[in-house]
């Protein structure tokens, strides 16, 4: 499961970066919001939700929830037991809010702007709290 979580992270980051770039481009170039833009944003939502599920399985399988207290004194443990999961949950919630808010907008620019704002903050949070040293086994 950890391996799937580890590989899935590449997919999530890739589509999220594409969605952020695409929505920025759409906004700046005043493009119309097409099916392609919708699908990219939706795909990002689905892949990130799947990552959330895998993350929960890894978290409980490895028993991190039983050790939160003990992990707080050490920064690597705190990252995995608390900071990473919590930050990722917030990031995925932002993606979800961005997705549902964009659907209510009628203007194309407003759709791009909503996706861009929420997805970009989510990307920033994810990059901030990925356990990079575990991922690349430094």
Of the candidate residues 22, 23, 44, 48, the single one contacting ligand HEM (CB under 6 A): 48
* Residue 82 contacts ligand HEM per CB under 6 A: no
- Long-range contacts of the stretch 76-82 (C-beta < 8 A, 24+): 76/133, 79/129, 79/131, 80/131, 80/134
* Residue 96 contacts ligand HEM per CB under 6 A: no
Q: Which residue has the tokens 């999220």?
A: 16
* Residue 87 contacts ligand HEM per CB under 6 A: no
Q: What are phi and psi of 96, to 5 degrees?
A: -65, -45
Binding site for ligand HEM (CB under 6 A): 2, 5-6, 9, 12, 48, 51-52, 55-56, 58-59, 62, 64, 80, 84-85, 88-89, 91-92, 126, 130-131, 134-135
């Amino acid at each position: 499961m950890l391996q799937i979580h580890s590989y899935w992270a590449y997919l999530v980051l890739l589509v999220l970066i594409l969605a952020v770039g695409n929505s920025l481009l759409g906004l700046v170039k005043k493009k119309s919001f097409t099916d392609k833009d919708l699908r990219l944003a939706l795909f990002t939502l689905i892949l990130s939700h799947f990552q959330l599920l895998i993350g929960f399985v890894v978290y409980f399988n490895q028993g991190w929830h039983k050790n939160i207290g003990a992990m707080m004194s050490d920064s690597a443990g705190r990252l995995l037991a608390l900071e990473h999961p919590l930050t990722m949950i917030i990031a995925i919630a932002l993606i979800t809010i961005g997705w549902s808010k964009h659907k209510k907008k009628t203007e194309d620019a407003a759709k791009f702007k909503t996706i861009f704002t929420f997805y970009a903050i989510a990307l920033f949070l994810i990059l901030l709290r990925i356990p990079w040293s575990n991922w690349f086994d430094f």
